[in-house]
Amino acid sequence: MPELRVGDRQWSVASGSNLLDALNQNGVSVPYSCRAGSCHACLVQCVQGQPSDNRPDALSADQREQGWRLACQCQVVEDLQVHAFDPQLDGRPAEIAAVDWLSATVLRLRVIPQRPLRYSAGQHLVLWAGNVARPYSLASLPQEERYLEFHLDCREPGAFSDAARQMRIGDPIRLGELRGGALHYDPDWQIRPLWLMAAGTGLAPLFGVLREALRHNHQGAIRVIHLAHDVDEHYLAKPLQAMADGRENLSIELWTPAELPAALAQLRLVSRQTLALLCGAPDSVDAFARRLYLAGLPRNQLLADVFLPRG
């Protein structure tokens, strides 16, 4: 049986054991969220030995060279010495700049890193509140805003959202791994129709992508669709409408679940050059994607980030 070592602790595990489970079940607390290799909350560094890795493409070549792995995607197949990500040592220091409610369930968190962070609209970042970590998409616009903005869905209780409710301006927070998802804006798209379809706080990264498109003076038609649980949860309705005022190429549509079937049925592509960016919970993204495929959108013109539930 392989030996697993963390610091001065060492124990035997069954060959093929999931690394995340082997650590957490033996008292080494490693946070996780998606268990799918997307969120990067379970990052660990393999100091000696190599695990079997299901997602070698999930990290950069530099990260892999330094031994970093996603514990949820690895199996222990030989003796392994691991350094768990320590937010106090490995994370970037930052402080809370603002905490306020955009709706009854959406909490906006603004964070100022101690050192400027280079990122692109559509990326996401792991936030650490003490030893609790959670990945969130960036809603802020790079090069335009000194803070990093995140929209937290607080409909259900959660370790991080519960901690965020207690945060105050000036409180310290640590930043973990920055990751690029599927969502981004390419200046080469400038004349192509652009559909941005979001469910819930999936609107956060698309809000950044939208503003990036407008900053590049996007010439094609932009259609923004937001699906919310009810009309009061269209939490960016006013700023979106303010952006659309005076822009003939930008339209805003606010949907609720009761309206969803009819609204989807009416979707028609004006151009085969349309690009669609989708973000939200799996069922909503799947519903959007299925309708777009039926409408004739080529699969390589659809980009999606899915907010996976913790499990």
Query: The CATH number of the domain where 78 resides is what?
Result: 3.10.20.30
Q: Rounded to two decimals, what is the model's pTM?
A: 0.86
Res 310: pLDDT: 54
How does pLDDT run across 169-217, given as a tens digit for each residue?
Answer: 999 999 987 877 789 999 999 999 999 999 999 999 999 999 999 999 9
Are 208 and 283 within one domain?
Answer: yes
| Residues whose CB falls within 8 Å of the CB of residue 237, separated by 6 or more in sequence, listed in order | 226, 252, 254
Mean pLDDT of the chain: 92
Burial of 63 (0-12, 13-18, 19+ CB in 10 A): middle
Give the pLDDT confidence score for residue 27 in this predicted structure.
Answer: 85
**200 and 163 part of one domain:** no
Report if residue 142 sits inside a domain.
yes
Do residue 81 and residue 112 come from a single domain? Answer: no
- Contact (CB, 8 A) for 31 and 41: yes
- Give the span between the Cα atoms of 222 and 252, in whole angstroms: 9
Band (pLDDT 50/70/90 cuts) for residue 297 is very high
Which CATH number does the domain housing residue 292 bear?
3.40.50.80
Least confident of 31-40, 167-176, 183-192, 254-263: 31-40
Do the bridges between strand 80-84 and strand 68-70 make them parallel or antiparallel, or are there none, so unpaired? unpaired
**Which pLDDT tens digit goes with each residue over 103-143?**
999 999 999 999 989 999 999 898 998 878 888 999 999 98
**14, part of any domain:** yes
> 10 Å Cβ neighbour count for 44?
24
Residue 230 lies in a domain: yes
Q: Are residues 75 and 112 in the same domain?
A: no
* Contact in structure between 247 and 194 (CB atoms under 8 Å): no
- Which one of 52, 85, 118 terminates a domain? 85
Check whether residue 131 and residue 59 sit in a common domain. no
The pLDDT value recorded for residue 311 is 45
Domain match, 295 and 219 both: yes
Of the two residues 31 and 141, the one the predictor is more confident about is 141
CB atoms within 10 A of CB 29: 9
Regarding whether 95 and 61 lie in a shared domain, the answer is no
Look up residue 5 and give its two tokens: 């070592």
Give the model's pLDDT for residue 144: 85
Residue 14 and residue 50 in one domain: yes
Q: Are residues 99 and 168 in the same domain?
A: yes
Strands in 131-235 per DSSP E = 132-137, 148-153, 172-179, 194-199, 222-227
* Residue-level pLDDT at 40: 76
pLDDT in tens, 7-30: 889 999 999 999 999 999 998 878
Is residue 238 in some structural domain? yes
- The CATH number assigned to the domain holding 100 equals 2.40.30.10
Most confident of 54-68, 77-91, 243-257: 243-257
Does one domain contain both 157 and 245?
no
Decide if 227 contacts 198 (C-beta within 8 A).
yes
Q: Is residue 311 part of a domain?
A: no
Give the up-direction half-sphere exposure of residue 108: CA atoms within 13 A in the CB hemisphere. Answer: 16
* End residue of a domain, out of 85, 112, 136: 85
- Considering the domain architecture, whether residues 292 and 214 belong to the same structural domain is answered as yes
Contact 160, 123 (CB under 8 A): no
Provide the 10 A C-beta neighbour count for residue 237.
16
Residue 208 lies in a domain: yes
Q: How far apart are CA 202 and CA 285, in angstroms?
A: 10
Note the pLDDT of residue 301.
97
How far apart CA 223 and CA 233 sit, in angstroms, is: 19
Q: What is the pLDDT of residue 163?
A: 92
Domain extent for 255: 187-306
| Token pair belonging to 75 | 């199996």
Question: What span, in angstroms and rounded, lies between the C-alpha atoms of 308 and 209?
Answer: 20
Which residue, 153, 179, 205, sits at the end of a domain?
Answer: 179
Together in a domain, 163 and 225 = no
Does 274 reside within a domain?
yes
> How many domains is the chain built from?
3
Each residue of 144-181: pLDDT tens digit? 889 999 999 999 888 888 999 999 999 999 998 787 77
* pLDDT value at residue 178: 82
Q: Give the CA distances from residue 203 to residues 60, 103, 164, 169, 271, in Å, rounded to whole numbers and listed in that order.
A: 27, 13, 19, 24, 24
